[in-house]
Amino acid sequence: NAGVMQNPRHLVRRRGQEARLRCSPMKGHSHVYWYRQLPEEGLKFMVYLQKENIIDESGMPKERFSAEFPKEGPSILRIQQVVRGDSAAYFCASSPFMGLQQGGTGELFFGEGSRLTVL
């Protein structure tokens, strides 16, 4: 998993505060995905971004959550007015192409995750 950098690794927020999670994809990768993992559950897709574009945000809650991947700098997942139910591990993944192509490795490279705890 070397290369996909997420920070912070751990973040503690009180209810109502904002959380900002950052993801720098692997060098040369222009496709970024965010996934959320609740305790003892599998990962759930949130959003897929390319540089300056949101391609698919069908897994993102309609309110309080937003994501961006600017031309310069890391991708950011922003959670406003956090609630206890937002406590989870948030994983970023990157790929060099548009996802899983037939015959290719199709690998998404995941970061180590950012663990958000809401008090």
Partner 1 sequence: GQQLNQSPQSMFIQEGEDVSMNCTSSSIFNTWLWYKQDPGEGPVLLIALYKAGELTSNGRLTAQFGITRKDSFLNISASIPSDVGIYFCAGAAFGAGGTSYGKLTFGQGTILTVHP
In whole angstroms, give the CA distance from residue 89 to residue 56.
20
Selected from 4, 11, 77, 116, the binder of partner 1 by CB under 8 A is 4
Instruction: Please state the closest distance from residue 16 (CB atom) to partner 1, in A.
Output: 28
Q: Which is nearer to partner 1, 18 or 107 (CB)?
A: 107
Q: Which is nearer to partner 1, 12 or 100 (CB)?
A: 100
Specify whether the CB–CB gap between 23 and 4 falls below 8 A.
Answer: yes
Q: Would you count residue 117 as binding partner 1 (CB under 8 A)?
A: no
Q: Which is nearer to partner 1, 14 or 103 (CB)?
A: 103
Q: Which is nearer to partner 1, 50 or 81 (CB)?
A: 50
Q: Which residues contact 62 (CB under 8 A, 6 or more apart)?
A: none
C-alpha separations of 39 from 18, 42, 86, 117 in Å: 21, 8, 11, 11
Query: What are the phi and psi torsion angles at 82 (to 5°)?
Result: -60, 150
Residues that bind partner 1 (CB under 8 A): 1, 4, 31, 33, 35, 40-45, 48, 55-56, 58-59, 91, 93, 95, 98-103, 105-108, 110-113
